[in-house]
C-alpha cells in the first residue's frame, strides 16, 4: 500500500490561527478516527462501537479516555516506571468534559459499547489542548457510520481586559477573570464548565453566547469533512435500540401511575420514598408473576423495572409541573433547611459541618508548609499546587453497601468544581499549603455544593483570610408542553428526572464556578438567565445561613496549627543559609524544631519558617538573620571584644567581625589597647567603612555620637 492521503477541512479561530481537521491517515481500522492540528499541537481521536448491545445493562456504556503522551512535549514521565500509567486528574477531567458533551446525543436505548480514545500526540506550552479534545472526538464520530445526533464542539471562552476571547494562548488565559469551557451542537447548548473572579450572571451568559458562535464555525468544518467521505459516513449503521416494551409499559402505567403520584405528593424523606417505590415495584412483579407465570417474570424482570422507571419519571414530572410542589413538599424556589457548625473536630486546624436537608458534608482544613505541596507532572509541564481539595463519597451516605475504593471520575469531578471555586477566594500571598477534605456523610443531591459551603466555613474556622463566604447551589429544570419549572436546591431524584441540571458557586459579589449539563433541545438564553438569577437568590439565602455560624475568618490560627513567618533576603545569601549539601539549614531545623523552606524569587531569597511554637520560629529567624545580616555604614551596633592586637581590637556583632583601629578607640592618644579593653568587653561601635584591599569592616568607638543602637 502507498502513502495514505487524508481528507481534510479547516477553519480559523477568531485570532487568525488555523485549525485543521484530518481523517484517513491514522487509525484507519477504527470505526472513526480524526486528527486535529493547531500549530504544533496535534490531537488524535478514535471511536469504536460494538456491533451488538451489551447484555444485561440498562445504561449507555460509553467510555471516554483522554491521554497526553509525554513524548508530545519532548519529556520523559517522572514516575518510577518512566511511562504513561493511569490517567492523571487533569486527563480524567478532560475526559469528563468530552463525555458529558457527547453522551446525551446517542439515541435512547443505545446499549452498544462505544469507546472514544483521544491522544495528545504533539503539544506546545501556549496551546491548551483540553479545548480541542471534544472537537477531535466529535470529528472522529462524524467520520464514522455510528448513529448519533452530532456533530458538536467545545471551546474555551475567557474574558481579558473586558473582551471575550476564544481558545487563547495559555499565558493570556492565565490572566483571565472568567474562564469557561462551552460545548454545543449547531443549535443547542450541551455543557458549560468553568470559573470566574466573582462575575455577574449576565457576563456568564455573554461568554456562553460567544462560545456558541465559535462552535458553529467548527461544526461547519466537520460537515465539510464528512461530505468528502460520502456514503461511508452519511449512511449510518442500523441498530436495534432497547426500548420499553409497549405492552408492559401500558400495564405498569395503568396499575402503578396513581400510586407513584401519591408517593410523589406525600412529601416524605428520601429513604421512605425509596422504600415505597421499591415496594410498589415488588408488588407489581408479584401480580405479573401470578398472571403470566414465573418464567415470564424471569424473562421480563429487567424490562418491568425499565418501564417502571419510565412511568415514575413521567408521573413525577407531571406532579411537579401541575401542582407546583416537589417530592419533599417544597415550592420551586424553596431551599431545604440548613444547619451549620464550626470547630467540630478539635484536633484539626479547621473544621465545619454543613447540612442542607438530607445532604451533609463534614469538612476539615489542614495547613502545611511548602514541603506539602502537590507535584503535578503532566506532559506539558511540571508544577506544584498549594491548594488541594479532596472529596470522599462513602457508600453509607446513600444507604448502600459497597467496597471502599480509590476516588472515581465522579469524585474527581466534584472535587475539581468545589476546589476551583474556593481557590478563587483564597488570598494570593498566603504562604501555606492548604488541604481541604470533604467527607460526605449524607447525600440527597448536590453534595459537591455542600462541599463548597462546608469548605468556606472550615477555612474561616481555620483562620485562613479568604475574601468572603462562598456557597454553592444545584439547580434543575423541567420543561414540557409549555410548562416550565426551575428548581432550586435539587434532590437526587430531581437530578435524574430533569431536563437540565447546573451548579453555581460564588460569593455575594458574583459567580466563582459553574457546571451545567443540558438535556433539552432549544433552551433559550432568556430561560437560562432566569435560572441563573433564581440560583443567585438561593445562593444569597445559603450564605446568610452560613454566616450565622461565622461571617469573617477567625483572627488567628488554632493553637496547634503551624505558623509560617516569611523572611526575604538578598539572593546572594541563599547559598550561605543552605550551606554545603544543605548542612546549615538542616542544623537550624534540628536545633529549633522548625521547617525552613527557601526559594529564589527574582532578586530575593524567600524564606518560610514554620512551627506551631513561636519561640522556635524566633530562634530560627535569629540564626538566619545572623547569617544574612548586612551592616550599613553609619549605623551603630553593640559589639563584643574578641581579640586584642598592637594595632587595635577585633570585635564581633550580629555574626559579623570588624576591626576597631587603635586610632578609632578614643580622641586621646592610647599607648596600648590593653590599657582600654579586655577580651569580652561590651562596646558600642559605628561602621565607618570597608578596607578596600581586604574587604574587612572598619569600626570606630570614638565616632559613636549617641547611645542609640541600631537593631535589625
Q: Are residues 532 and 662 in the same domain?
A: no
Q: Are residues 106 and 27 in the same domain?
A: yes
Predicted pLDDT at 709? 44
Residues 224, 161 contacting (CB under 8 angstroms)? no
Contacts of 425 (CB under 8 A, 6+ apart): 456, 466, 467, 468, 470, 507, 512
Name the domain count of the chain.
5
Evaluate whether residue 178 is within a structural domain.
yes
Residues 194, 513 contacting (CB under 8 angstroms)? yes
Evaluate whether residue 587 is within a structural domain.
yes
Q: Judge residue 310's burial from the number of C-beta atoms within 10 Å of its C-beta, 0-12 exposed, 13-18 middle, 19 or more buried.
A: middle
Evaluate whether residue 455 is within a structural domain.
yes
Predicted pLDDT at 245? 87
Q: Judge residue 465's burial from the number of C-beta atoms within 10 Å of its C-beta, 0-12 exposed, 13-18 middle, 19 or more buried.
A: middle
Starting at the edge strand found earlier in the chain, the sheet holding 604-611 runs: 563-570, 604-611, 595-601
Residues 388, 407 contacting (CB under 8 angstroms)? no
Q: Are residues 569 and 642 in the same domain?
A: no
Q: Are residues 149 and 91 in the same domain?
A: yes
Residues 356, 471 contacting (CB under 8 angstroms)? no
Tens digit of pLDDT for each residue in 334-386? 999 999 999 999 999 999 999 999 999 999 999 999 889 999 988 988 889 99
Residues 364, 371 contacting (CB under 8 angstroms)? no
Residue keyed to cell 434543575: 476
> In the structure, how many helices (H) and strands (E) does the chain have?
15, 29
Predicted pLDDT at 710? 44
- The secondary structure of residue 661, as a DSSP letter, is E
Of the residues 234, 256, 286, the one at which a domain ends: 234
Candidates 233, 218, 228; CA nearest to 6 is: 228
Q: Are residues 257 and 346 in the same domain?
A: no
Q: In 623-660, which positions are buried (b, 16+ CB within 10 angstroms) versus exposed (e)? A: bbeebbeebeeeebbebebeebeeebbbbebbebebbb
CA 397 to chain centre: 23
Tens digit of pLDDT for each residue in 516-539? 998 877 778 888 999 999 999 999
3-state secondary structure of 327: coil
Q: In degrees rounded to 5, what are phi and psi of residue 153?
A: -155, 165
Q: Are residues 119 and 180 in the same domain?
A: yes
- Entry field: residues in the chain: 712
Residue predicted with more confidence, 239 or 468? 468
The set of cell numbers assigned to 592 is: 529549633
Separation CA 250–CA 246 (nearest Å) = 6
Whether 711 shows a pLDDT value over 80: the answer reads no
The whole-number average pLDDT for the span 302-307 is: 91
Candidates 563, 561, 566, 562; CA nearest to 598 is: 566
Separation CA 674–CA 694 (nearest Å) = 25
Predicted pLDDT at 668? 84
CATH of the domain at 46: 3.30.230.70
Whether 705 shows a pLDDT value over 70: the answer reads no
Rg over alpha carbons for the chain, rounded to the nearest Å, is: 33
Residues 494, 445 contacting (CB under 8 angstroms)? yes
Contacts of 413 (CB under 8 A, 6+ apart): 92, 93, 96
Separation CA 435–CA 553 (nearest Å) = 17
Whether 58 shows a pLDDT value over 60: the answer reads yes
Tens digit of pLDDT for each residue in 609-644? 999 888 999 999 989 988 887 788 888 888 999 999
Pairing of strands 656-661, 697-700: parallel
Separation CA 304–CA 298 (nearest Å) = 10
Cβ neighbours around 524 below 10 Å, total: 9
CA 704 to chain centre: 60
Separation CA 497–CA 633 (nearest Å) = 78
Q: Are residues 580 and 529 in the same domain?
A: no
Task: State the pTM of this model.
Answer: 0.87
Long-range contacts of 291-295 (CB under 8 A, 24+ apart): none
The set of cell numbers assigned to 581 is: 549539601
Percentage of the chain beyond pLDDT 70 is 98
The whole-number average pLDDT for the span 21-32 is: 94
Tens digit of pLDDT for each residue in 89-132? 999 999 999 999 999 999 999 999 999 999 999 999 899 999 99
The residue ranges of DSSP E strands in 524-655, in sequence order, are 563-570, 595-601, 604-611, 636-645, 648-653
Where is average pLDDT lowest: 24-28, 259-263, 464-468, 498-502?
498-502
Evaluate whether residue 712 is within a structural domain.
no
Q: Are residues 253 and 229 in the same domain?
A: no
The residue ranges of DSSP E strands in 96-177, in sequence order, are 112-122, 153-160, 163-166
Integer angstrom CA distances of residue 585 from 208, 373, 568, 598, 640:
52, 20, 15, 9, 26
Starting at the edge strand found earlier in the chain, the sheet holding 41-53 runs: 7-12, 18-23, 32-38, 41-53, 112-122, 62-68
Candidates 480, 473, 491, 452; CA nearest to 531 is: 473
Predicted pLDDT at 311? 93
Tens digit of pLDDT for each residue in 629-686? 778 888 888 899 999 998 999 998 877 888 988 888 888 888 898 888 999 999 998 9
Q: Judge residue 17's burial from the number of C-beta atoms within 10 Å of its C-beta, 0-12 exposed, 13-18 middle, 19 or more buried.
A: middle
Residue keyed to cell 547569617: 627
- SS3 sequence of 416-455: HHHHHHHHCCCCCCCCCEEEEEEEEEECCCCHHHHHHHHH
Whether 214 shows a pLDDT value over 90: the answer reads yes
Residue predicted with more confidence, 300 or 417? 417
Cβ neighbours around 587 below 10 Å, total: 12
Instruction: Kindly report the average pLDDT of the chain as a whole number.
Output: 91
Evaluate whether residue 641 is within a structural domain.
yes
Q: Judge residue 15's burial from the number of C-beta atoms within 10 Å of its C-beta, 0-12 exposed, 13-18 middle, 19 or more buried.
A: exposed
Percentage of the chain beyond pLDDT 90 is 69
Whether 228 shows a pLDDT value over 60: the answer reads yes
Give the structural domain span for 589: 563-628
Whether 20 shows a pLDDT value over 70: the answer reads yes
Residue 131 parent element (H or E): helix 130-142
Residues 323, 315 contacting (CB under 8 angstroms)? no
Of the residues 519, 546, 573, the one at which a domain ends: 546
Evaluate whether residue 240 is within a structural domain.
no
Contacts of 188 (CB under 8 A, 6+ apart): 518, 520, 521, 522, 523
Maximum average pLDDT range among 189-198, 240-249, 699-708: 189-198
Separation CA 199–CA 212 (nearest Å) = 19
CATH of the domain at 646: 2.40.50.140
- The secondary structure of residue 30, as a DSSP letter, is S
Q: Are residues 590 and 644 in the same domain?
A: no
Separation CA 247–CA 614 (nearest Å) = 77
Q: Are residues 229 and 286 in the same domain?
A: no
Evaluate whether residue 274 is within a structural domain.
yes
Cβ neighbours around 584 below 10 Å, total: 18
Q: Are residues 230 and 268 in the same domain?
A: no
Predicted pLDDT at 59? 87
Contacts of 582 (CB under 8 A, 6+ apart): none
Of the residues 502, 520, 546, the one at which a domain ends: 546
The set of cell numbers assigned to 416 is: 475539581
Q: Are residues 41 and 92 in the same domain?
A: yes
Residues 118, 65 contacting (CB under 8 angstroms)? yes
Where is average pLDDT lowest: 572-581, 678-687, 700-709?
700-709
CA 302 to chain centre: 38
Evaluate whether residue 600 is within a structural domain.
yes
Residue keyed to cell 496547634: 560
Largest CA distance in the chain: 127
Predicted pLDDT at 633? 85
CATH of the domain at 595: 3.30.1370.10
Contacts of 293 (CB under 8 A, 6+ apart): none
Amino acid at each position: 500500500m502507498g502513502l495514505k492521503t487524508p481528507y481534510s477541512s479547516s477553519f480559523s479561530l477568531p485570532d487568525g490561527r488555523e485549525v485543521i481537521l484530518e481523517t484517513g491517515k491514522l487509525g484507519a481500522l477504527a470505526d472513526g478516527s480524526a486528527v486535529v492540528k493547531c500549530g504544533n499541537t496535534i490531537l488524535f481521536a478514535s471511536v469504536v462501537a460494538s456491533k451488538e448491545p451489551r447484555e444485561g445493562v440498562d445504561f449507555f456504556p460509553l467510555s471516554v479516555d483522554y491521554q497526553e503522551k509525554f513524548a508530545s512535549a519532548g519529556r520523559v514521565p517522572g514516575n518510577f516506571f518512566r511511562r504513561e500509567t493511569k490517567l492523571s486528574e487533569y486527563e480524567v477531567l478532560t475526559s469528563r468534559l468530552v463525555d458529558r458533551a457527547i453522551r446525551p446525543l446517542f439515541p435512547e436505548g443505545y446499549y452498544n459499547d462505544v469507546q472514544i480514545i483521544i491522544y495528545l500526540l504533539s503539544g506546545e506550552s501556549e496551546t491548551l489542548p483540553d479545548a480541542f479534545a471534544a472537537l477531535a472526538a466529535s470529528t472522529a464520530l462524524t467520520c464514522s457510520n455510528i448513529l448519533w445526533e452530532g456533530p458538536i464542539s467545545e471551546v474555551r471562552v475567557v474574558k481579558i481586559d473586558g473582551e471575550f476571547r476564544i481558545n487563547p494562548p495559555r499565558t493570556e488565559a492565565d490572566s483571565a477573570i472568567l474562564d469557561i469551557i462551552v460545548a454545543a451542537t449547531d443549535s443547542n447548548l450541551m455543557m458549560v464548565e468553568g470559573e470566574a473572579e466573582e462575575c455577574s450572571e449576565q457576563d456568564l451568559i455573554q461568554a456562553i453566547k460567544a462560545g456558541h458562535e465559535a462552535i458553529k464555525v467548527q461544526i461547519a468544518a466537520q460537515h465539510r469533512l464528512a461530505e468528502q467521505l460520502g456514503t461511508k459516513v452519511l449512511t449510518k449503521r442500523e441498530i436495534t435500540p432497547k426500548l420499553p416494551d409497549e405492552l408492559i409499559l401500558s400495564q405498569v402505567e395503568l396499575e402503578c401511575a396513581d400510586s407513584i403520584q401519591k408517593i410523589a405528593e406525600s412529601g416524605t424523606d428520601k429513604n421512605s420514598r425509596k422504600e415505597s417505590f421499591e415496594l410498589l415495584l415488588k408488588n407489581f412483579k408479584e401480580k405479573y408473576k401470578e398472571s403470566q407465570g414465573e418464567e415470564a417474570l424471569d424473562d421480563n424482570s429487567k424490562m418491568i423495572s425499565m418501564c417502571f422507571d419510565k412511568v415514575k419519571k413521567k408521573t413525577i414530572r407531571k406532579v411537579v409541573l401541575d401542582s407546583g410542589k416537589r417530592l419533599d413538599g417544597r415550592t420551586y424556589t424553596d431551599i431545604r433547611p440548613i444547619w451549620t457548625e464550626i470547630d467540630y473536630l478539635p484536633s484539626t486546624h479547621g473544621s465545619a459541618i454543613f447540612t442542607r436537608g438530607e445532604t451533609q458534608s463534614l469538612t476539615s482544613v489542614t495547613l502545611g508548609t511548602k514541603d506539602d505541596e502537590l507535584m503535578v507532572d503532566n506532559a506539558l509541564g511540571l508544577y506544584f499546587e498549594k491548594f488541594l481539595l479532596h472529596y470522599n463519597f462513602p457508600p453509607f451516605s446513600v444507604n448502600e453497601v459497597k467496597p471502599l475504593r480509590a476516588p472515581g471520575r465522579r469524585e474527581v469531578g466534584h472535587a475539581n468544581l468545589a476546589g476551583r471555586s474556593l481557590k478563587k477566594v483564597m488570598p494570593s500571598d498566603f504562604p501555606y499549603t492548604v488541604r481541604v477534605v470533604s467527607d460526605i456523610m449524607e447525600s440527597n443531591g448536590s453534595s459537591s455544593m455542600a462541599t463548597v459551603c462546608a469548605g468556606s466555613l472550615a477555612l474561616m474556622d481555620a483562620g485562613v483570610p479568604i475574601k468572603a463566604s462562598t456557597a454553592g447551589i444545584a439547580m434543575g429544570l423541567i420543561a414540557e408542553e409549555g410548562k416550565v419549572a426551575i428548581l432550586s436546591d435539587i434532590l437526587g431524584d430531581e437530578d435524574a428526572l430533569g431536563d437540565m441540571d447546573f451548579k453555581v458557586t460564588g460569593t455575594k459579589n458574583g459567580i466563582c464556578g459553574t457546571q451545567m449539563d443540558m438535556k433539552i433541545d432549544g433552551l433559550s438564553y432568556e430561560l437560562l438567565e432566569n435560572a441563573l438569577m433564581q440560583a443567585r437568590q438561593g445562593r444569597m439565602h445559603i450564605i446568610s445561613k452560613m454566616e450565622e455560624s461565622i461571617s469573617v475568618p477567625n483572627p488567628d490560627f488554632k493553637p496547634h496549627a503551624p505558623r509560617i513567618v516569611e523572611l526575604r533576603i538578598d539572593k546572594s545569601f541563599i547559598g550561605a543559609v543552605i550551606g554545603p549539601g544543605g548542612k546549615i539549614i538542616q542544623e537550624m531545623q534540628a536545633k529549633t524544631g522548625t521547617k525552613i523552606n527557601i526559594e529564589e524569587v527574582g532578586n530575593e531569597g524567600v524564606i518560610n519558617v514554620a512551627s506551631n511554637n513561636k519561640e522556635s520560629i524566633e530562634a530560627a529567624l535569629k540564626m538566619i538573620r545572623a547569617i544574612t545580616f548586612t551592616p550599613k555604614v553609619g549605623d551603630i551596633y553593640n559589639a563584643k571584644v574578641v581579640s586584642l592586637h598592637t594595632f587595635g581590637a577585633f570585635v564581633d556583632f550580629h555574626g559579623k567581625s570588624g576591626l576597631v583601629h587603635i586610632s578609632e578607640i578614643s580622641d586621646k592618644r592610647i599607648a596600648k589597647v590593653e590599657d582600654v579593653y579586655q577580651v569580652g568587653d561590651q562596646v558600642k561601635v559605628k561602621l565607618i567603612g570597608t578596607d578596600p584591599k581586604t574587604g574587612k569592616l572598619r569600626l570606630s568607638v570614638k565616632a559613636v555620637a549617641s547611645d542609640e543602637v541600631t537593631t535589625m
